[in-house]
Structure 1
Amino acid sequence: MLSRVIFGARVSLAVGLVAVTAAALVGGLLGVLAGYLRGWPDRVIGLLLDSMLAFPPLVLLPAITAIQSQSFLTLTPALSLLSVPGFARLVRANTLSLSKREFVDAARLPGSSPRRVLLREVLPNVVLPVLSYGVLVPAGLIVAEGSLSFLGLGIPAPRPSWGGMIASGRPMLSSSPWLTFVPAIALFLTVLSINVIGDHARRLTDKKAAAL
């Protein structure tokens, strides 16, 4: 049981971290372009993000995992796709705010190119809120992966995952409750720890952002 819980942790944490990293990169790029360029790029990207948010995740995730083969390579991009709008909107809002600041206007005066202003003035100040938000997102993705595995739409057996272990132990809940409770407690403590760390990170980044 201990070995399966530890191995299941590798699966759940890998799905959460890889999906968040991919979503932060894609969403950050879209948010920076929308917030800095404005105009029609902002409208097009905004329409794309609104379309993604309008599609129910409880329908999208089972549909993707049911159509494609159930594997790590299928589940991770699907979870990453759901996280892109949140990162993109966060980065867009911060980029819009930063583009009106005095130090950005001063960087434009010598005739610096938009790419240089983005890389040297905007992006370094957008990283902190992205990191603060990115610490919290894996908790939700780990729960989503566990839910899909519980429903039989996540990581297939015999590879252990916490959701799959909870599902496999459910028929023996009355005689062997530890088969369900041990992975459930591991999932609960992991998500709780990520949320606590994320709250501390958010407070630290808020203090640094207020000092700018």
Structure 2
Amino acid sequence: MSDFVEFTGPAGSRGRGRYLSWPGLGLAVPGLALAALAPAALPGPGWLSLLAFAVGLGLAYAGLVRLGRGVFGGSFDLMFWLCLAWLVVLVSAAVLAPMLPLGEYHDIAKTIDAPAMAPPALFSEHPLGTNNFGLDLLARVLYGARASLLVSIGAVAIGMAVGGAIGILAGYFRRLTDTAVGVATNSLLAVPPLILLIALGTVLEPNLRNIAIALSLLALPSMIRMARAATLTFAQREFVLAATAMGASRWRVMGRELLPNVLLPLASYGMVIVSVLIVAEASLSFLGLGIQAPDPSWGNMIAEGEGNAFQDHPHIVLVPGVTLFLTVFAFNLIGEKARKRWDPRQAKL
């Protein structure tokens, strides 16, 4: 028997190149079942359940990759779609958090009777457990996502607007303008990022607006360089030369011809920068210079596990830590995919 079975279309016509992989199905179904049932069904030490869960995920992933490539072709990237699904679910849940039936995330006066340090239990009132004040970790993770994503995306937006404009000016006018922008950019890059953030964190009031402005200084040099490089590439294209030959002003060329073309590679690079700034914001909050408790942030949630709390109750750190890791990984992978597609310099490689 063949390892593949060909699909037929909705009207009975046979689909071209679309196959169902029986080996892929044979790996995916048992793998998903093992990952779902192992943590609750296996007796013995916790590491055994964790190992079975990891093996199940590995089998399921290998099977789903084969299934996806059979159905959608060899270019199918399961990891990309998993990362995209994670971001869609996380952002949707964070936006809709006030309307979801979540536990208390902020006011410790409302959690006097709630269990403190409750471990995760999937079908309980607190599926991801509680912290030392009885606050629900699922609710705090989602509200922390609102803060982290708002600050990081806001900082990237500021960096794109300011850095993109400066980079286009430097790449188009060149000469003295390019030299001055280069000196300013190199000066910003010469300051260690953590030192710059700590200095700004001690001077500015720790609210979302000020943190976003402080983080935008980290994104600014990279955005300027990216916009300048893209401008240098597109400034030699036929449509720019034609617009100049037809008498278009410099500002019209930059606004109508260069800006729309520079924006796509800049936005794709911005997705990678978002992941860097999420870690930077978490680092500030961990050090007590960012979002202040009891307002949730992934950084100050991880800080709650300092000392013996992590040894006795590891979920206090693992819940925000794993969420932070998955989000940064997803933004990085999707951003790199976008850069390969829209960055003119990457397309030549």
Question: For this structure pair, what is the TM-score category when the shorter chain's length is used for normalisation?
Answer: over 0.9
Runs of 4 or more consecutive aligned structure 1 residues displaced over 3 Å after TM superposition: 206-211
Structure 1 position 209, deviation (Å): 8.2
Letter in 2 for 1:59: I
Assess, with a 3 A threshold, how the Cα gap between structure 1 residues 144 and 177 changes in structure 2: closer, same or farther: same
Match in the other structure for 1:189: 326
Correspondent of 1:159 among 265, 288, 295 = 295
> What is the distance in 1 between the residues matched to 2:256 and 2:202?
44
Give the number of the structure whose residues are more often helix, by fraction. Answer: 1
Letter in 2 for 1:88: I
Equivalent position SS for 1:169 = coil
Task: Trace 1:88-99 onto structure 2 (pairs within 5 A).
Answer: 88-99=224-235
Equivalent position SS for 2:205 = coil
> What is the distance in 2 between the residues matched to 1:180 and 1:209?
38
Task: Trace 1:133-212 onto structure 2 (pairs within 5 A).
Answer: 133-171=269-307, 172-206=309-343, 210=347
Match in the other structure for 1:104: 240
For the pair 1:21 / 2:161, whether they are aligned, the reply is no
Letter in 2 for 1:176: H
> What is the distance in 1 between the residues matched to 2:171 and 2:282?
35
Structure 1 position 208, deviation (Å): 11
> What is the distance in 1 between the residues matched to 2:297 and 2:148?
7
Q: C-alpha offsets along residues 39-70 of structure 1, whole Å, 9 cap, x if unaligned?
A: 21111111111111111111110011012222
Match in the other structure for 2:217: 81
Match in the other structure for 1:131: 267
Superposition CA RMSD, Å: 1.7
> TM-score, normalized by length of structure 2?
0.58
Choose 1 or 2 for highest CA Rg.
2
Q: C-alpha offsets along residues 102-131 of structure 1, whole Å, 9 cap, x if unaligned?
A: 321111112111111112221121112111
Equivalent position SS for 1:180 = helix
Q: C-alpha offsets along residues 94-153 of structure 1, whole Å, 9 cap, x if unaligned?
A: 111222223211111121111111122211211121111011111000001111111111
Letter in 1 for 2:247: G
Paired residue total? 211
Assess, with a 3 A threshold, how the Cα gap between structure 1 residues 49 and 208 changes in structure 2: closer, same or farther: closer
Unaligned 5+ segments in structure 1 are none
Match in the other structure for 1:115: 251
Percent identical residues: 48
Assess, with a 3 A threshold, how the Cα gap between structure 1 residues 6 and 50 changes in structure 2: closer, same or farther: same
Q: RCO higher in 1 or 2 (8 Å CA, sep ≥ 6)?
A: 1
Unaligned 5+ segments in structure 2 are 1-136
Letter in 1 for 2:319: V
Assess, with a 3 A threshold, how the Cα gap between structure 1 residues 207 and 121 changes in structure 2: closer, same or farther: closer
Assess, with a 3 A threshold, how the Cα gap between structure 1 residues 143 and 112 changes in structure 2: closer, same or farther: same
Equivalent position SS for 1:174 = helix
> What is the distance in 1 between the residues matched to 2:332 and 2:315?
25
> What is the distance in 1 between the residues matched to 2:337 and 2:227?
20
Assess, with a 3 A threshold, how the Cα gap between structure 1 residues 208 and 95 changes in structure 2: closer, same or farther: closer
> What is the distance in 2 between the residues matched to 1:202 and 1:68?
34
